[in-house]
């Protein structure tokens, strides 16, 4: 294992810039997302000022350019917390029309059957809380990337599953604004749910058109954003509506995502390891740079490692390499060393003679990749060393597969990481799966249920891990601002 530095780091938190790496494709997601919304106090409270002070329910965390350094003591910063739906009591909610923006962008097959309902299940706690407190829920989401009204992107296939999970009959509107929607809202009973049609059927949604946002907002009395997967988009239903609806608060899912992806990562139980994989270093620069500020151990896998190998003078055959990122790779290695982060690159790899499931393959040391061969997975020695490093940790975050896990021959490294994290999670280690293909891998291995947190947002989680501000979060009402 090429250990750039052996001693753990204890770095200050600070914001990082970095490239955007938003994987836009809707991916298959793990089928067993653990949903554990924080239990809510039912005692009446003034809105807002509760969250930071009474617990860590929603204590820290907006992905702002500055994060809290609570407990780290070296730098005074501002900690912003957002109001949570849990701060709203039945006195606030009973009979009120609540516009809930969820991310129900689930994959559908050719028969319009939902193939993974993770995002629907993830939205349930917030909706249930609202209906149990007598609110009238106006539920909004996008599905896919339609250009105008497109029947195959209608939300009709979502209604039966939503109804089943909520235990009530969910009504659906054929539009998301206009007189017909208004009359359906008017007839909505307390505890009822009306699903608006795909909000992206209007181009004004993605343009964050203020008039369109105003029309959406006019349907309701207050706003809950629970659409973590879309929180990195400044759209009318995620950002624009907050200008017209007060209060505008975070739902339980959004809160949980922030608690883990910002809270647990910014203030981790140590040692804290980050595992970063995926195809290209260019898509993960921001994440690597940001995590280097926070973690003690950084494990790298996936296609990106070959750029690091080449930067160190190794032959990489026909492996994926980004020639224009060689200097960057060198500087990331130097940065890890300077910060005392133990950066581990795989010492052996599985190479193939073509990019195909039936390719010939063999295991070679990192220094032994011949011309005509490409590295498609990490090798068994690397798995062993990664496992030993992970055994020392208390917090682990994982983003990106270790190899081409979609092909069975090159899935062992990714599956080994998934299994190791499951084992650690069961021993009490905090395990966070940061969205995207790693979520699909965890689902494939069947260990999603034991992880501490599995993000429902690919692009959103990456942006958050890079330290970027999510427009859908920043627009929400603040609970309190603390200068430490
Ligand atoms: N050695 C490799 N060579 C080529 N592609 C790889 C390699 N290792 C992993 N990949 C591919 O990387 C893709 C995931 O990359 P990326 O989108 O960056 O990760 P994520 O979706 O987790 O953010 C997967 O489709 C996987 O097949
Ligand atoms: O699936 C989504 O993002 P993801 O694929 O990055 O997880 C979200 O629903 C956002 O969709 P978008 O990338 O079309 O804005």
Q: What ipTM does the predicted assembly reach?
A: 0.96
**3-state secondary structure string, 437-481?**
HHHHHHHHHCCHHHCCEECCCHHHHHHHHCCCCCHHHHCCCEEEE
Query: pLDDT value at position 473?
Result: 96
Is 72's pLDDT higher than 50?
no
Strand-pair partners of 298: 274, 343
Is residue 35 in some structural domain?
no
- Shared domain for 240 and 97, answered yes or no, is yes
Q: Which of 240, 301, 303, 459 is catalytic?
A: 459
Stronger pLDDT, 53 or 101, i.e. the higher one: 101
> Which residues, in sequence order, are CB contacts of 174 under 8 Å at separation 6+?
180, 197
Question: Chain centroid to CA 434: how far?
Answer: 5
Q: Where in 152-279 does DSSP place strands (E)?
A: 171-172, 193-195, 222-225, 248-250, 272-276
Is 218's pLDDT higher than 80?
yes
- Shared domain for 244 and 227, answered yes or no, is yes
CA of 259 to the centre of ligand 2 (A): 20
| Portion of the chain with pLDDT greater than 90, in percent | 79
- Shared domain for 286 and 240, answered yes or no, is no
The answer to whether residues 87 and 479 touch, using CB atoms and an 8 Å cutoff, is yes
Q: Is 152 a catalytic residue?
A: no
User: Closest residue (by CA) to atom 10 of ligand 2?
Assistant: 230
Query: pLDDT value at position 435?
Result: 77
- Shared domain for 351 and 449, answered yes or no, is yes
Q: Which of 45, 171, 280, 354 is catalytic?
A: 280
* Whole-number Å distance between alpha carbons of 134 and 124: 15
- Shared domain for 142 and 188, answered yes or no, is yes
Q: Which of 192, 240, 413, 436 is catalytic?
A: 436
- Shared domain for 105 and 222, answered yes or no, is yes
Half-sphere exposure at residue 254, Cβ-oriented, CA atoms within 13 angstroms: 35
> 227-259 pLDDT, tens per residue?
999 999 999 999 999 999 999 999 999 999 999
User: Closest residue (by CA) to atom 15 of ligand 2?
Assistant: 230
CATH classification at residue 232 = 3.40.50.1260
Q: What's the whole-number average pLDDT of the chain?
A: 85
Query: pLDDT value at position 51?
Result: 26
Cβ of 317 less than 6 Å from ligand 1: no
Helix, strand and coil percent figures for the chain, each rounded to 5:
35, 15, 50
Cβ of 379 less than 6 Å from ligand 1: no
Candidate from 69-73, 219-223, 294-298 with smallest mean pLDDT: 69-73
Is 107's pLDDT higher than 60?
yes
Give the residue from 226, 250, 274 where a domain finishes. 250
Cβ of 229 less than 6 Å from ligand 2: yes
Confidence of residue 80 (pLDDT cuts 50, 70, 90): low
Task: Find the mean pLDDT for residues 400-428.
Answer: 97
> Which residues, in sequence order, are CB contacts of 137 under 8 Å at separation 6+?
98, 100, 127, 130, 131, 188, 192, 193, 194
CA of 230 to the centre of ligand 2 (A): 6
Which domain does 189 fall in, by range? 85-250
User: Closest residue (by CA) to atom 7 of ligand 1?
Assistant: 303
* Whole-number Å distance between alpha carbons of 350 and 383: 11
* Whole-number Å distance between alpha carbons of 105 and 158: 10
Cβ of 436 less than 6 Å from ligand 1: yes
Give the residue from 250, 285, 315 where a domain finishes. 250
- Shared domain for 156 and 244, answered yes or no, is yes
> 437-457 pLDDT, tens per residue?
899 899 899 999 999 999 999
Cβ of 458 less than 6 Å from ligand 2: yes
> 291-336 pLDDT, tens per residue?
999 999 999 999 999 999 999 999 999 999 999 999 999 999 999 9
Confidence of residue 480 (pLDDT cuts 50, 70, 90): low
Task: Find the mean pLDDT for residues 61-86.
Answer: 48
Which numbered ligand comes closest to the C-alpha of 257? 2
Query: pLDDT value at position 479?
Result: 81
Q: Which atom of ligand 1 is nearest to the CA of 434?
A: 22
Cβ of 472 less than 6 Å from ligand 2: no
Q: Which atom of ligand 2 is nearest to the CA of 23?
A: 6
Total domains in the fold of the chain: 2
Q: Which helix (H) or strand (E) holds 255?
A: helix 252-258
Is residue 195 in some structural domain?
yes
Which numbered ligand comes closest to the C-alpha of 21? 1
> 177-190 pLDDT, tens per residue?
999 999 999 999 99
Task: Find the mean pLDDT for residues 369-380.
Answer: 98
Is 54's pLDDT higher than 60?
no
């Amino acid at each position: 294992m090429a250990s750039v530095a052996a001693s753990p780091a204890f770095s200050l938190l600070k914001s990082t810039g970095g490239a955007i790496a938003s994987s836009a494709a809707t991916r298959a997601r793990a089928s067993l997302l653990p949903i554990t919304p924080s239990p809510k106090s039912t005692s009446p409270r003034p809105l807002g000022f509760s969250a930071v002070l009474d617990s860590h329910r929603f204590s820290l965390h907006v992905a702002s350019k500055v994060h809290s350094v609570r407990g780290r003591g070296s730098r005074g910063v501002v900690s912003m917390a957002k109001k949570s739906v849990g701060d709203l009591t039945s006195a606030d909610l009973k009979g009120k029309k609540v516009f809930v923006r969820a991310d129900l962008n689930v994959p559908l097959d050719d028969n319009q059957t939902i193939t993974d309902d993770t995002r629907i299940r993830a939205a349930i706690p917030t909706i249930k809380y609202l209906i149990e407190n007598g609110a009238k829920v106006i539920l909004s989401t996008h599905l896919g990337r339609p250009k105008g009204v497109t029947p195959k992107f209608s939300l009709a296939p979502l209604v039966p599953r939503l109804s089943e999970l909520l235990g009530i009959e969910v009504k659906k509107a054929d539009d998301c604004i206009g007189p017909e929607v208004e009359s359906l809202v008017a007839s909505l009973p307390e505890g009822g749910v009306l699903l608006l049609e795909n909000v992206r059927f209007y181009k004004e949604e993605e343009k964050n058109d203020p008039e369109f946002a105003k029309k959406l907002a006019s349907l309701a009395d207050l706003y809950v954003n629970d659409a973590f997967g879309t929180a990195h988009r400044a759209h009318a239903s995620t950002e624009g509506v907050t200008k017209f609806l007060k209060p505008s608060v975070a739902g339980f899912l959004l809160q949980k995502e922030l608690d883990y992806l910002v809270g647990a990562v910014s203030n981790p139980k140590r040692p804290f390891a980050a595992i970063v994989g995926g195809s290209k270093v260019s898509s993960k620069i921001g994440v690597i740079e940001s995590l280097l500020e926070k973690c003690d151990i950084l494990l790298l896998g996936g296609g990106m490692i070959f750029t690091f190998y080449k930067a160190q003078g190794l032959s990489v055959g026909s492996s994926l390499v980004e020639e224009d990122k060689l200097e960057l790779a060198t500087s990331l290695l130097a940065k890890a060393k300077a910060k005392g982060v133990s950066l581990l690159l795989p010492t052996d790899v599985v190479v193939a003679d073509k990019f195909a499931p039936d390719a010939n393959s063999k295991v070679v040391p990192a220094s032994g990749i011949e011309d005509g061969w490409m590295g498609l997975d990490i090798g068994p020695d690397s798995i062993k060393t990664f496992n030993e490093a992970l055994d020392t940790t208390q917090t682990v975050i994982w983003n990106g597969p270790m190899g081409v896990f979609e092909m069975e021959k090159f899935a062992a490294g990714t599956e080994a990481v998934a299994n190791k994290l499951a084992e650690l999670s069961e021993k009490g280690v905090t395990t966070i799966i940061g969205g995207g293909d790693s979520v699909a891998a965890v689902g494939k291995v069947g260990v999603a249920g034991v992880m501490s947190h599995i993000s429902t947002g690919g692009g959103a989680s990456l942006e958050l891990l890079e330290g970027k501000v999510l427009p859908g979060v920043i627009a929400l009402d603040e609970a309190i601002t603390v200068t430490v």
